[in-house]
Structure 1
Amino acid sequence: PLPRLSVKKLLEGGKGGIADSVAKWIFKQDLSPELLKCANKERDVENPDEPREGITRSFPEVSEVEIDLGAVPDLLHLAYEQFPCSLELDVLHAHCCWEYVVQWNKDPEEARFLVRSIEHLKHILNPHVQNGIALMMWNTFLVKRFSAATYLMDKVGKSPKDRLCRRDVGMSDTALTSFLGSCLELLQTSLEADISRDEVQVPVLDTEDAWLSVEGPISIVELALEQKPIHYPLVEHHSVLCSILYASMRFSLKSVKPLALFDSKGKNAFFKDLTSIQLLPSGEMDPNFISVRQQFLLKVVSAAVQAQHSKDKDPSAEAANTHWKDLNWPGLAVDLAHHLQVSDDVIRRHYVGELYSHGADLLGEEAIFQVQDKEVLASQLLVLTGQRLAHALFHTQTKEGMELLARLPPTLCTWLKAMNPQDLQNTGVPIAATAKLVHKVMELLPEKHGQYSLALHLIDAVEAMATL
Structure 2
Amino acid sequence: MHMHFVWVKFISNTPKCKSTVSPWYRSIPPVNSLILTVGTSPYTGFHYALEGGTTPPLQDVARAVANKIKSALPGWLGGGSTENMVANPEPIIRSETLSMRNGIYDSQRLGTFVAISPDRRLAALADNLGRVAVLDVNSGYIIRLFKGYRDAQCAFVQIFDTDSKKPQLTSIKEIRRAIFLIIYNPKKGLIDIRLMQRGTRVAVFTATKNGQLLYNSCGLVGAEKNYNHKKLNMPEFQCVLIDPDGKLKKFNIPFYYSLEGEHLQRSKDLHVLREIREIMKKEQLLSEESKNEIIQKATNFKTLEIRKHCMDLFIRNTNMPSDVLTSCLEIFWESVEKESLNSQVQETKNYFAKLALLIFFFRNINDDACVGMEGIVEKVCEDLKLTHTKNETNEEDETCRAFHLLEDDSCILERLLILAQENNFKEYQPRVSFVDNNTSSYKEFMSYFVFDKTSEVITLKPDIAAEKLDNLAANIFKSIIKLKDFSNLTNVVRESHIDSKEIVKLVITHVMNMSLDEINIELIENIIEILFYLCKVTEDATNINYNDISPWWQNIRDLLVEMRCPLKSMIVAMACKAVASLFEGKTTGREDAWESVTKENAKWGLLIGKLEDISVLSITLMFKGTFKGKTLPKLSVEDFNINLKYIYTRGKGSVTELIAKWLCSMGVLPEAIIANELVDLYSETDIDTDDESSESAQLFLVNSRAYVDDNQNLFKWLSLLRRQFPLSTLADYIIANMCWEYAINWQKSMQANENIKAVLHCLKHISNLHLRLGLFSIIWSTYIKHSFELTCRLVNKVGKLPKDHLCLQDLGFNSEHLKSFLQVVTQYLRDFHVCSTTAIDQEKKVIKYEKIWDESMPSLVEVAQDVKNVDNDILNLNYQISCTIYYQCHFNVKFPKALDTLFDMDYQYLIEALVGNIAQRDINMKPSGKMVNPRMKFLTKLIRAAIDTITCVNSDEANLLYNNEDCLLWMENITTLAELWNVNENFVKHQYVVGLYHMGYDTLAQTVVGSVADPEMLLVPIVAITIQRLKRNLEKCKNQPEWIVTVPPQLYKRLQNTTLDVSIPANPSLTTTMVILQILLSQVDKKMSTETSTNFQNIHLAELIVETCEVLIRRNLG
The bucket for the TM-score relative to the shorter chain is 0.7 to 0.9
Q: Hey, what does 2:885 align to over in structure 1?
A: 245
Aligned with 2:1097 (options 447, 450, 456): 450
Check conservation: 1:13, 1:215, Cα contact below 8 A: no
2: CA distance between counterparts of 1:431 and 1:113? 52
Separation in 2, partners of 1:71, 1:327: 44
Alignment partner of 2:871 out of 231, 253, 263: 231
Deviation at 1:152, TM superposition (A): 0.9
Tell me what 2:671 maps to. Answer: 34
- Structure 1 counterpart of 2:775, from 133, 140, 148: 133
Match of 2:936 in 1: 294
Pick aligned residue for 1:365 from 993, 1006, 1009: 1006
For the structure 1 residues 437 and 67, does the alpha-carbon distance in structure 2 shift closer, same or farther, using more than 3 Å as the test?
farther
5 Å matches for 1:20-59?
20-42=657-679, 58-59=702-703
Q: Give the letter for the 2:673 counterpart.
A: L
CA contact (8 A) 2:800 2:894 kept: yes
- Deviation sequence 1:117-147 (CA, Å, 0-9, x none): 1111222222211111111111111111111
CA distance in 2, matches of 1:416, 1:61: 68
Q: CA deviation at 1:192?
A: 1.4
When the two structures are superposed, what TM-score results if normalisation uses the length of structure 1?
Answer: 0.83
Cα pair 1:438 1:455 within 8 Å, conserved: yes
Q: Distance in 2 between matches of 1:338 and 1:135?
A: 25
Closer, same or farther in 2 for the Cα pair 1:361/1:407, shift >3 Å? closer
1:190 is the counterpart of 2:797 = no
2:1009/2:1079 contact within 8 Å kept: no
Q: What are structure 2's unaligned runs of at least 5 residues?
A: 1-636, 684-697, 954-964
- Structure 1 residue 215: Cα displacement: 6.4
What do the CA deviations read for 1:330-361 (whole angstroms, capped 9, x no partner)? 23323322333433322221012222333433
Contact 1:148/1:168, CA 8 A, preserved across alignment: yes
Indicate the residue corresponding to 2:817 in structure 1.
175
Output the CA distance in 2 between the equivalents of 1:267 and 1:155.
13
Residue 307 of structure 1 aligns to a residue in which SS? coil
* 1:11-36 CA distance string (max 9 Å, x none): 54432223322322332222333333
* Alpha-carbon displacement from aligned partner over 1:269-320 (angstroms, at most 9, x marks no partner): 3222326433334666142x32222111111111112124479xxxxxxxxx
What CA distance in whole angstroms lies between the structure 1 residues aligned with 2:717 and 2:821?
33
| Cα deviation, residue 73, structure 1 | 4.9
Give distance in 1, aligned partners of 2:936 and 2:1006: 23
Partner of 1:259: 899
CA distance in structure 1 between the aligned counterparts of 2:1001 and 2:808, rounded to whole angstroms: 38
Equivalent position amino acid for 2:640 in 1: R
Q: What is the CA–CA distance in structure 2 between the aligned matches of 1:56 and 1:193, rounded to whole Å? A: 20
Residues 124, 443 of structure 1: alpha-carbon distance in 2 compared, 3 angstrom cutoff: same
Query: Deviation string for 1:22-69 (max 9, x for gaps)?
Result: 322332222333333333332798xxxxxxxx9998227989xx9965
> What CA distance in whole angstroms lies between the structure 2 residues aligned with 1:199 and 1:127?
9
Q: Which of 622, 634, 639 is equivalent to 1:3?
A: 639
Q: CA RMSD in A?
A: 3.2
Equivalent AA in structure 2 for residue 195 of structure 1: T
Query: What residue in structure 1 maps to residue 789 of structure 2?
Result: 147
TM-score, normalised to structure 2, is 0.37
Partner letter of residue 922 of structure 2? L
What is the match of residue 949 of structure 2?
307
| Aligned twin of 1:165 | 807
Whole-angstrom CA distance in 1 between matches of 2:647 and 2:699: 29
Distance in 2 (CA, whole Å) between partners of 1:326 and 1:359 is 15
Residues 212-221 or 457-466, more deviating: 212-221
Gap change, CA 1:172 and 1:408, over 3 Å in 2? same
Query: What letter is aligned with 1:3?
Result: D
CA contact (8 A) 1:263 1:281 kept: no
Contact conserved, 1:404 with 1:464, CA < 8 A, in 2? no
Does the aligned pair in 2 maintain the 1:14–1:214 contact within 8 Å? no
- C-alpha change, 1:212 and 1:378, in structure 2 (3 Å) is farther
Q: Which amino acid aligns with 1:103?
A: N
Give the total of aligned pairs: 440
Cα deviation for residue 165 of structure 1 reads 1.1
Q: What amino acid is aligned across from residue 774 of structure 2 in structure 1?
A: G
For 1:147 and 1:14, the matched residues in 2 are separated by 34
State whether residues 950 and 967 of structure 2, in contact with CA within 8 Å, keep that contact through their aligned partners in structure 1: no
1:68-87 pair list within 5 angstroms = 71-80=713-722, 82-87=724-729
Q: Percent identity?
A: 23
Q: Aligned partners of 2:1045 and 2:926: how far apart in 1?
A: 56
> Is 1:340 matched with 2:984?
no
**CA shift in 2, pair 1:442/1:113, >3 Å:** same
Check 1:334–1:266 CA distance in 2 against 1; reply closer, same or farther (3 A cut): farther
Task: Name the CA distance, whole Å, in 2 between partners of 1:260 and 1:184.
Answer: 19
Residue pair 2:873, 2:925 contacting (<8 A) in 1 also = no
Q: 1:278 aligns with which of 901, 913, 921?
A: 921
CA contact (8 A) 1:309 1:360 kept: no
| 2:524 alignment counterpart | none
Distance in 1 (CA, whole Å) between partners of 2:819 and 2:857 is: 35
Alpha-carbon distance between aligned partners in 1 of 2:933 and 2:969, rounded to the nearest angstrom? 23
Name the structure with the higher helix share: 1
Rounded Cα–Cα distance in structure 2 between residues aligned with 1:78 and 1:325: 47
Cα offset for 1:436?
1.9
Q: Paired residue for 2:289?
A: none
Change (3 A) 1:326 1:433: closer
- 2:1049 pairs, out of 400, 406, 410, with 410
Separation of aligned partners in 2, 1:99 and 1:86: 17
Q: Where does the alignment leave 5 or more consecutive residues of structure 1 unmatched?
A: 46-53, 312-323
When structure 1 is superposed on structure 2, of 380-389 and 69-78 the one drifting more is 69-78
**What's the CA shift for 1:237?**
1.0
* Bigger relative contact order, structure 1 or 2 (CA pairs below 8 A, ≥6 apart): 1
After TM superposition, the structure 1 stretch with the greater mean CA deviation from structure 2, 70-79 or 227-236, is 70-79
Distance 1:379 1:245 in 2: 32
CA contact (8 A) 1:14 1:216 kept: yes
Q: Answer whether contact 1:153 1:159 (CA < 8 A) is retained.
A: yes
2:712 and 2:1067 mapped to 1: Cα distance?
53
Q: Give the structure with the higher percent strand.
A: 2
207, 210, 224: which one aligns with 2:849: 207
Rounded to whole Å, the distance in 2 between the matches of 1:284 and 1:451 is: 34
CA displacement 1:69-126 (0-9 Å, x = unmatched): 5744555555455544323222222111111111111111111111111111222222
Question: In structure 2, do the counterparts of structure 1 residues 281 and 202 end up closer, same or farther at CA, with 3 Å as the change threshold?
Answer: same
1:187-216 CA-partner distances (Å, limit 9, x unpaired): 2222212212221011211224xx533765
Deviates more, 1:178-187 or 1:384-393: 384-393
Q: Give the conservation status (yes or no) of the 8 Å contact 2:1003–2:1072.
A: no
State the one-letter code of the partner of 2:730: E
- Label 1:266 to 1:444 Cα distance change in 2 as closer, same or farther (>3 A): farther
The answer to whether the aligner puts 1:220 opposite 2:860 as a matched pair is: yes
* Aligned AA (1:414): K
1:377 pairs with 2:1014:
no
Does the CA contact (< 8 Å) of 2:819 and 2:886 recur in 1? yes
8 Å CA contact retained: 1:241, 1:258 = no
CA distance in 1, matches of 2:1005, 2:835: 35
Residue aligned with 2:994, SS: helix
Of 362, 380, 387, the residue aligned with 2:1028 is 387
Classify the secondary structure of the residue corresponding to 2:1108.
helix
